Structure 1
Amino acid sequence: MEVRAIDQQAPFTTKDGSTIRSILDRSNAPVEKQSLAEATIPAGGETERHWHKESEEFYFILSGSGTMELEGETREVGEGDAILIPAGSWHQIQAREDLRLLCCCSPPYRHEDTYFE
């Protein structure tokens, strides 16, 4: 059985500029097909607009609010919102107030699968 406590995971900065803590992924468990991480973006911050060739993502907003842009469509997002980001879709999230969200990727997140303009 694989159990990981979030507060035991060291934070790091992803290629898009968000700070994440891997909860379950290839770095800390025998994960093959998905990854789960907590991301934080401070108020006024944002990820760099990017896309993933392979990974489909879900964002689930745990706290805070901001603006999500996906393929040119923009929406306000906040606590309790789940966002589907299909593979190959340009996206960016901006924090109006401190954002804390879960990021689920399938296949698991890899820096090498993040592409920029």
Structure 2
Amino acid sequence: MDVRNLNSVPAFSTKDGSEIRELLAHRNSCIVNQSLAEARLPVGGSTDPHYHPLCEEIYFLLEGTAKMQVEDNVQDVGPGDAIAIPPGERHQITNTGSGTLRFLCCCAPAYEHEDTIMVDDWPK
């Protein structure tokens, strides 16, 4: 069993520009097929539009409100919302609230910078 406390995990920036704390993944635990991280975006902040050819993601919002875009689908989201992001679909999340946006990000297979493809042809 591996236990990681959020307060003891160092933060780093992902390729899409979000700040994450990777709680569990093959890099720091016995987990081999997925990863779990907490992500944070400042007020008005956004991830850069991107997609993952291999990884499917689940975002689970803990604090704050946001605009979530997956391809042409845009929805307002908030605490308690879970968002499914299939592999290969372009996506972006924007903090629309008055405080830091905090959400959990589950990736299967585990998050890797190499599986993050930035996009220029983003539908607005």
Q: Which TM-score applies when normalising by structure 1?
A: 0.98
Determine if the alignment matches structure 1 residue 91 to structure 2 residue 91: yes
Gapped regions of structure 2 (runs ≥ 5): 120-124
SS of residue in 2 equivalent to 1:112 = helix
What CA distance in whole angstroms lies between the structure 1 residues aligned with 2:105 and 2:43? 18
Greater share of strand residues, 1 or 2?
1
Partner residue, 1:113: 115
Q: Which moved more, 1:53-62 or 1:1-10?
A: 1-10
Aligned-residue RMSD, C-alpha: 0.7
Map 1:8-19 onto structure 2 (within 5 A).
8-19=8-19
- Matching residue's letter, 1:69: Q
Partner residue, 2:122: none
SS of residue in 1 equivalent to 2:33 = coil
Partner residue, 1:82: 82
Deviation at 1:116, TM superposition (A): 1.2
Partner residue, 2:56: 56
Determine if the alignment matches structure 1 residue 103 to structure 2 residue 105: yes
Determine if the alignment matches structure 1 residue 46 to structure 2 residue 49: no
SS of residue in 2 equivalent to 1:101 = strand
Partner residue, 1:7: 7
Count of paired positions: 117
Q: Which TM-score applies when normalising by structure 2?
A: 0.92
Deviation at 1:30, TM superposition (A): 2.4
